Amino acid sequence: MADEKEAALARLQVLRGELDYHAHRYYVLDQPVIADVEYDRLFRELLELEERFPELVSEDSPSQRVGGAPLEKFATVQHRHAMLSLENAFGEAELRDFEERLLRFLKDTPQLSYVAEPKMDGLAIELVYEQGVLVQGSTRGDGRTGEDITRNLKTIAAVPLRLRGENPPALLEVRGEVFMGSAGFRKLNEERAAAGEPLFANPRNAAAGSVRQLDSRLTARRPLDFYAYGSSDPAQLACATQQELLARLSSLGFKVNPLVRFCPGLAEVIAHYRHLLEIRAGLDYEIDGMVVKVNSLALQERLGNKARTPRWAIACKFPASQATTTLLGVDFQVGRTGAVTPVAILAPVAVGGVTVSRATLHNEEEIKRKDLRIGDRVLVQRAGDVIPEIVQPIVALRTGQEKPVTMPGHCPSCGHGLVHEEGEVALRCVNAHCPAQRLRSLIHFTGKSGMDIEGLGRKVMEQLFTEKLVADIPDIYALQPETLAALDGWAAKSAENAVAAIAASRNVSLARLLSALGIRHVGEVTAALLEERFQTMERLMTASLEELLTVEGIGAQVAASIRDYFDDPAVQQMLARLRQLGVAPGKRLAPQGELPLRGAVLLFTGTLAGFSRDEAKELVKKLGGQVSSSLSRKVTHLVCGDKPGSKLQKAEELGITILDEKGFQQLIS
C-alpha cells in the first residue's frame, strides 16, 4: 500500500504541473496547446487519484480552484460570491450517477426536477447592476478574483446597460456566457487570414480574446453575443426555482438561451441531452455539452458546494469535436478530374465519437497559410457530418525537427507532370489515361450521384479495377454473372443481382448519364439543362460552342469543358461502345399538370427520415424543380434533415429559404 501511495503522489505531482501549465494557457493567455477533451482526461485522472488518497490533496491542487489568475493588465474584481466551476459528466450513465448522489445527500426527497440548458463554449462573466444600472462587468478569473472588463462588456449589444421594468432590485449580480457565433467566427478568421494575423483556434478563444482587449473599440468590432444563465444570489430576485429565475432575467432584458428546458425528471434530462446532441451541428454557435441544474433553489441551498463545484449542477459533455494529435505525413490523392488533393496522415485520435486518422488539407495554399509541417502537433476538428480538418498547428510545441510539406511535381499515380491551370489553386494531372482518375471515374459512374447501380459500390469497383475486369465505363456493361461469381466475396446470387442492376441502368435519362460521366463542371443541374435543350446524346455531341452558350445557366467555362470532352476521340469511342452495349439514354418525360417547383433549385443536407436522398431528388424533378449538388446563390431552398452540417450557416448568410423535412413535405404537396 505504501508503494501504491508513493506512486500516486508522484503521478499527482506530474498531473498538477501539467494542469497548471494548461490552465494558464487556456484561462490567462487564451492560447491552449491541447484540446478540451485532453485537459478533461488529465483532470479526471487527478480527481480519481485524490479520491482514492484524500490525504494527498494539497491546497494548491487544480482540484481546489476554478480557473486561471487574472491578467495583470486589468484591474481586479472580488466576487461577492465565488464563481465556481462545474463537475463534468460524460454520457447518460454518469447523469444517473449524479442523480443518485443527490438523492443520497437529500435522503427525504424522492423526486427531483431539473432545468437543462446548452453548455455554451464561451467565456463566463458576471454583471453587477445597482439600482438597475450596469456598474461593473468581470471575468470569472480564479473564481474569487476576476478581471474588470466593464468597458468592453458595455460594447456588446446583448448586455443590457439598464434593466427593463420598474423597481429593479437595488443590487443584482447576473452571470452568463459571452460567446461568438459560428458565422461571425468564420468571418473574423477570414479577415485575420487576409491581414496575415494568426487565426483563432475556436470561437471560445476568439470570444475570450475579444473581451480581454485594452482597447474597447476593438471589442466593439467583434461579433460577440451574450446569454444569461443565473445569478450569484437568487434571493435578489425572490424566485423559488431556476426556471422562474431565468424567466425573471428575461423580463429584465437579458437574453436567455431558447433551448433551455424544464425537465420534470431525469428521463426528460436524458431526452434533451440526446436532442441537443442531434441538433448541435446545425446551431449557429458552439456548444460542448449540456448543463443540468436542480430546479428548486431551496434544494440548491441545501445541497451547497464542494471545494470548486456546486453539488446541485453538472455539465454533461458531448463527444469532443476537437482534439490534438500529430501530423505524421501527407498523402496526395488524385481525383476523377485529375485534381491532386493533399490529405493529412494523423496519429489516430477520437474526435466527435469517431477515430480520425486522415484529414483534408484542400490545397497547397491552405498548407502554406496554416504553416503546417510534418511532425507538428495539430488541432483537429470534426463537427456533424463535416470531413475532419486540421484547424492549426500548435507552434508552441515545435521542437525544430518538423519538416515542411513538399508538393509533388509529378502525378503519384501515373508519373505525368502536374500543372497549375489558369485561375485554379489545385495541382492537376492532365493525363487522360491516369489509372487513379479512371478508377475514381468508375466509382463515380456507378455511385449514388451517378447511375446508382446497386451492388457496385466503391469497394466492388476497386476490386473489379484491380482484377482488370473493368478498365473503362463500357466494361461494366460487358460483365457476366459467372465472371463475378468467381471473385472473392461473391456468390452466384449476388453476381446475378449485380448484372441485373447493370442491365436496368441501360435505359436511363440523358441527364442521369451526363451526370454519371463526370464531365468537368457538369453536375445534376447542368445535366438537366443540357437534356432539356438537346434531348439526345447525338445532338449534344455535335452542338457548337455557340449553341452551348445559348443555354441559360451555362457560361463560357462550362461550355468549353463540354466541348473539349466530346471532342476527345477516346470519349467518342467510349460512347460508341456504350451504344453497342445497349446503353440508350432518353429524355425524361415532361411532368404533366401543375409544376409547383418550376424555377426552384433545391439542395439537400443532412439525413431525411421519410425519404432517401435519391427519392427526394426524383420527387423534386418530377415536380419541375432542379436539384443542386453544391451551395450557391442559384439555390432557392435548402432542405435540412438530421445533422445538416455547415451548409445551414452558409445558406442563412446567403438569405436562402431553409426548410426542415416537414416544410419540404408541405412544399411538394
- Cell representation of residue 75: 484591474
178/228 Cα distance (integer angstroms): 9
Please confirm, yes or no, whether 368 is among the known catalytic residues: no
Exposed, middle or buried: residue 414 (CB in 10 Å: 0-12, 13-18, 19+)? middle
3-state secondary structure at position 283: coil
Distance CA 447, CA 430 (A): 24
Backbone angles phi, psi at 580, to 5 degrees: -65, -30
Q: What angle do CA 344, 348, 354 make, to 5 degrees?
A: 100
Classify burial at 259, counting beta carbons within 10 Å of its beta carbon; exposed 0-12, middle 13-18, buried 19 or more.
Answer: middle
Q: Would you state the torsion angle of the CA atoms of residues 86, 292, 49, 288, taken in this order, to the nearest 10 degrees?
A: -70
Locate cell 434530462: which residue? 269
Residue pair 136/196 in contact (Cβ under 8 Å)? The answer is: no
Q: Position of cell 496575415?
A: 196
Please state, in angstroms and as integers, the Cα–Cα distance from residue 358 to each residue in 34, 200, 379, 380, following that order: 19, 22, 13, 10
C-alpha cell at 165: 421594468
Read off the DSSP letter of residue 416: P
Helix or strand run (H / E) with residue 569 = helix 569-580
Q: Which of 119, 370, 617, 621 is catalytic?
A: 119
Residue type, 132: G
Q: Which residues are catalytic?
A: 119
